[in-house]
């Protein structure tokens, strides 16, 4: 291929790649294992490799790793905040597999 056709080929490939990516963002309505599309308004938030934003500083027992036993567990907070009546359908028909897996994991531990 001659060198003067290479920029044109690159432009065409980038154009079709952008169409594919933009199209996926519009139709990809379910959560993926890597965190993409958990937030439809900002599909890249919470993805693998993205920066973690903290609203409050961490409070580990040793300042680095050990759990702080003075605080309630994440499970207790989750159950307090999210526990509600069962059988309510989701407006967007999104799966609740992770919630069930979390409960199953709690039983195993």
Q: pLDDT tens string for the chain (109 positions)?
A: 556 667 777 777 777 666 555 445 445 556 666 767 677 777 777 777 777 777 888 888 898 888 888 888 888 887 777 776 666 666 666 656 666 665 555 555 5
Token pair 């897996």: residue: 101
The CA–CA distances, whole Å, from 74 to 71, 78, 86, 102 equal 9, 6, 21, 12
Each domain of the chain, given as residue ranges in start order, spans: 6-108
Q: Which residues contact 87 (CB under 8 A, 6 or more apart)?
A: none
Q: What is the DSSP letter of 77?
A: H
Q: What six digits make up the tokens of 76?
A: 């207790």
pTM of the model: 0.30
């Amino acid at each position: 291929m001659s060198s003067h056709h290479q920029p044109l080929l690159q432009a065409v490939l980038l154009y079709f790649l952008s169409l594919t990516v933009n199209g996926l963002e519009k139709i990809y309505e379910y959560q993926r294992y890597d965190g993409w599309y958990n937030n439809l308004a900002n599909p890249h938030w919470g993805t693998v490799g993205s920066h973690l934003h903290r609203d409050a500083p961490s409070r580990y027992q040793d300042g680095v790793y050990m759990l702080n036993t003075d605080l309630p567990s994440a499970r207790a907070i989750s159950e307090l905040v999210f526990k509600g009546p069962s059988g309510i359908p989701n407006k967007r028909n999104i799966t609740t597999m992770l919630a069930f897996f979390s409960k199953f994991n709690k039983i195993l531990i």
